[in-house]
Chains A and B, each alone.
Chain A
Amino acid sequence: DAKTTQPPSMDCAEGRAANLPCNHSTISGNEYVYWYRQIHSQGPQYIIHGLKNNETNEMASLIITEDRKSSTLILPHATLRDTAVYYCIVTPGGSQGNLIFGKGTKLSVKP
């Protein structure tokens, strides 16, 4: 079973920041938080991952709370092409690596 809880859907205005929350209250010390997204029936796409420190790359920022029980994915300037289902996945680093997808958040970016 997925170890994460995400809102089923969110809207965001084009050009604004999209903040996608994820709860993972049972996360273990060796588990990482990964974010992937899936644009309509395409293969999922990796966005970012982190253990306990905040992370930033060219696509997004990941903010993990100090107790690691929740995190927020931030898309700083959402565009229409960011409309997708966003999955927050918790998985042990260095393990088999298979991803357990939960329900995800359907983000709709509107003009």
Chain B
Amino acid sequence: AAGVIQSPRHLIKEKRETATLKCYPIPRHDTVYWYQQGPGQDPQFLISFYEKMQSDKGSIPDRFSAQQFSDYHSELNMSSLELGDSALYFCASSLTKGWDEQFFGPGTRLTVL
């Protein structure tokens, strides 16, 4: 069965650089969620999209932005990177908002040097 695809799987950036993470949801899933998991931490919700519109916002820094495109894939843009942004970033998708289980991707490991 198709799963959530995230790219790249690993990314190394310098401080103050920008990064773009991509997420391709399971086909026919219209809802995408982004989570951040710092070292030794639990996943924290960042932002979600439903039918290409922002649905909910969590603890996402102002330096981060995200969008969902017409093909339902989503991109998380991160600017002015800080050391503390080093984390695993998970994308999840669900068939529709709220009611269904979320299917998580394998994550992107971002390292900021």
Contact = CB atoms under 8 A, between A and B. Distances in A.
B107 A94 contact: no
Contacts of A46: 101-103
Contacts of A96: 48, 50, 55-56, 97-98
Interface string A67-93: 000000000000000000001000011
Contacts of B88: 41
Interface residues of B, number: 28
B4 interface: yes
Interface string B78-112: 00000000001010101001111111111100000
Nearest to B6: A43
A103 B41 CA distance: 8
Contacts of B44: 101
A94 B105 CA distance: 22
A43 B42 contact: no
A71 to B, nearest CB: 17
Interface of B: 4, 31, 33, 35, 42-45, 48, 50, 55-56, 58, 88, 90, 92, 94, 97-107
Interface of A: 34, 38, 41-46, 49, 87, 92-104
